[in-house]
Amino acid sequence: DCKENVFPALYLYIQVDVQNPNPRTEQKLQALLCVKALAFLRRDSGVLSLGSALLSDRFVFLKSRGLPQLDFLSPMHAPPPLCHTREATRQFLEEINKWTSQHGVSPLSRELAVKFLMARKFDVLRAIELFHSYRETRLKEGIVRLQPQEEPLRSELLSGKFTVLSVRDPSGASIALYTAKLHHPNKTGNHVVLQALFYLLDRAVESFETQRNGLVFIYDMAGSNYTNFELDLSKKILNLLKGAFPARLKKVLIVGAPVWFRVPYNLLSLLLKDKLRERVQMVRMEELRQHLPRDCLPQHLGGLLPLESFSWNQQLLAGQNGRVDPVDELVGIPVEEASIHVPGAEAMRPQELLTHLGRLQRTGIHLEYEEVRKEPPPGTFNCAQSAYNQERNRYGDVLCLDQTRVRLKPRRNERTDYINASFMDGYKQRNAYIGTQGPLEKTYSDFWRMVWEQNVLVIVMTTRTDEGSRRKCGQYWPLDEGGQEVYCHMAVVNQRVDNHTHYNHTTLELHNTETCEQRQVSHFQYLSWPDYGVPTSAVTLIDFLGAVKRQQRKMVTALGLQWAGHPQGPPMVVHCSAGIGRTGTFCALDICLSQLQDVGSLNVCQTVRRMRTQRAFSIQTPDQYYFCYNAILEHAQRQGLLPANQ
């Protein structure tokens, strides 16, 4: 009967926790009795489950013809079968706890694993991305080892600015409320607001019902004015909700937005994916009841619920004395111990990337880049700006962050360890690259010292020495086969030159005259980048990238047991002229394509944003940023991940 009547039948899937009965449970069961649904009830570890026998013996098929629509029984997807949830949990814990083991911290609990998995419907890869994004966001915003009983966090928690309502919406989702008019930027810093928001949302999603049914977020702007508003804070809250928090976000309702808010909102919404944009809505006060019934709304928003803004927060604080956040240990792991480029939130598969590009077009992608460009570098430039080192910079406005700069080993009578070069992470590889400027004549010896000291095997050059009438880079290596140049204690010999259509591959041998050691280094020079703008096609650059990576693998393999570091080898030196434009483009493509190959998805914006925290100002122009998108899509088509005609 089931097989013959699949299409006219109406399926209902309900999972009920009998250990925590509530009126909604009774309501659902009464409805099933009223329509005379055929059901089999099975008790298993304290859980009464109703569902589809086709999926698991823990679920039972419920079928009814002509069942009227019930507002408390909204159509739901079947919950994943028990065997699937167990396997997904096992895979998630296995992957995450490899990571925790590497950092010597306690493994993630099964309870926490389920929270991240439920937020992504037991899609293991997306749940892993969410976990890393959640941890990164907390670390970036200083949300580590929170002390809710201490100031200023305690006052912020009790300010009434943010609370979770005591009722749920008809689908069982929790309702969180943020009251914008209570925020005074001159009194409370953004980081304290975000700490409070994280803390309270974390407590809210400890409820299994919230994990299962999701979260509705009301952003109440009624009665607020421009002095209560911070665009940066609003963006951070939206980014948190859309991809860095383990909860199913059902909708964000922006209520009573002033006229002046429309412009920043339109800018923000342009950067959202279609699916999320549909969930973020601006509504007038009188329209709010179209989304939530009156008994789910506080009185000041036209509902029936007396808002006791302090009660839930006070009760929560009272029960938190001495409580240890199980994620704190993980969040506290310094970023420098692992690569910053791991799968994160809002990753796109090739088709989604194509849709994103088609929706935004060049203008929208340029706007996306502008948002990234406006973010200030997260560090200082003290060493690069010192009087003695300024002459070592090719350009006065392209400097190295103190936090990621490469330090030359000290030598007798040397006044500085500075070179304009920065360590940059690759995909799941710390310090995969050294991004640097094109060497100046006065820094040739420093450049080769760095290559030797960092055990570099491959140098990538994405410019010609001269382009048009401009000097882009010095001739820092012997150009002709058999040629030799000496730079301080480093002798460089040109052993062989292989000329290809779009690049040259030169095999160099380095001789350290102080230690009498010698090593081989491969030098790749890309020749097809135009004097102005970007290449019209990415094919030659991606082929060049492939040749570079094959040579790196070959040379690492040849080292054998001499190399005990990362399996992908020591850093590759990548440079153009300034070391941020073409260099950043090359590295961004490598990171994105590596992630695409690994997990089938990527995030260009996130990659560039992270990259700029290590090599400041990487990706120099909007056209280079737009080129990254097109290059990835070209590659996806060549690999059969997208139809060739799209």
pLDDT in tens, 111-126: 889 989 988 889 888 8
pLDDT at site 611: 96
Out of 48-62, 70-84, 205-219, 586-600, pick the least confident: 48-62
277 and 369 housed in the same domain: no
CB 288 within 8 A of CB 255: yes
Sign of the Cα torsion 423, 424, 430, 432 reads negative
**245-300 pLDDT tens trace:** 888 888 889 898 887 777 767 766 655 555 667 778 888 888 998 999 998 998 88
Q: Which of 79, 99, 118 is the last residue of a domain?
A: 79
- Give the model's pLDDT for residue 152: 82
Residues 386, 293, single domain; the answer is no
Residue 143 pLDDT > 80, yes or no? no
Q: Is the pLDDT of residue 61 over 60?
A: no
Average pLDDT of the chain is: 81
- Check pLDDT > 90 for residue 409: yes
Please tell me the predicted confidence (pLDDT) of residue 245: 80
pLDDT category of residue 602 using cuts at 50, 70 and 90: very high
Which of 279, 299, 319 finishes a domain?
Answer: 319
Q: Containing domain of residue 563, as a range?
A: 350-638
Q: State whether 356 and 299 are in the same domain.
A: no
pLDDT tens-digit readout, 304-313: 888 765 555 6
Reply yes or no on whether the pLDDT at 598 is more than 90: no
Q: What is the pLDDT of residue 342?
A: 80
* Average pLDDT score over residue span 600-613: 94
- Residue 403 within any structural domain of the chain: yes
Catalytic residue numbers? 576
In this prediction, residue 9 carries a pLDDT of: 33
**Structural domains counted in the chain:** 3
Residue 475 pLDDT > 50, yes or no? yes
Res. 76 pLDDT band, cuts 50 70 90: very low
What is the per-residue pLDDT for 46? 32
Looking at 79, 97, 120, the residue that finishes a domain is 79
Say yes or no: 361 and 294 in one domain.
Answer: no
Residue 252 to residue 467: CA distance in whole angstroms: 51
Amino acid symbol at 413? N
Give how far Cα 36 sits from Cα of 32, 62, 66, 67, Å.
6, 10, 12, 10
Whether residue 412 is found in the same domain as residue 284? no
Quick check: helix, strand or coil at residue 158?
coil
**123: in domain:** no
Q: Which of 7-16, 213-222, 332-341, 526-535 has the lowest mean pLDDT?
A: 7-16
**DSSP codes, 510-557:** EEETTTTEEEEEEEEEE----SSS--S-SHHHHHHHHHHHHHHHHHHH
The verdict on pTM exceeding 0.75 is no
Distance of alpha carbon 530 from alpha carbon 521, whole angstroms: 27
Instruction: Give CA separation, 366 vs 363, 372, 603, 622, in Å.
Output: 5, 10, 16, 5
pLDDT at 40: 32
In this structure, are 311 and 355 located in the same domain? no
401 inside domain: yes
Q: Report pLDDT for 267.
A: 61
Rounded mean pLDDT of 577-581?
Answer: 97
What are 393's two structure tokens? 């910079």
- Which CATH number do you get for residue 294? 3.40.525.10
Q: Is residue 299 part of a domain?
A: yes
Q: Give yes or no for a contact between 437 and 471, defined as CB atoms under 8 angstroms apart.
A: no
State the pLDDT confidence band at 331, using cuts at 50, 70 and 90. Answer: low
Residue 264: per-residue pLDDT:
67
The lowest-confidence range among 95-99, 357-361, 512-516 is 95-99
Based on the domain organization, do 377 and 230 belong to the same domain? no
Question: Looking at residue 80, what is its pLDDT?
Answer: 61
Q: Do residues 443 and 496 both lie within one domain?
A: yes
CATH number of residue 414's parent domain: 3.90.190.10
Task: Sort strands 458-461 and 517-526 into parallel, antiparallel or unpaired.
Answer: parallel
> Could you tell me if 406 and 532 lie in one domain?
yes
Residue 559 belongs to a domain: yes
pLDDT for 460-471, tens place per residue? 999 999 998 899
384 part of a folded domain: yes
Mean pLDDT, residues 388-405: 95
Amino acid type, 635: H
Distance CA 207, CA 22 (A): 14
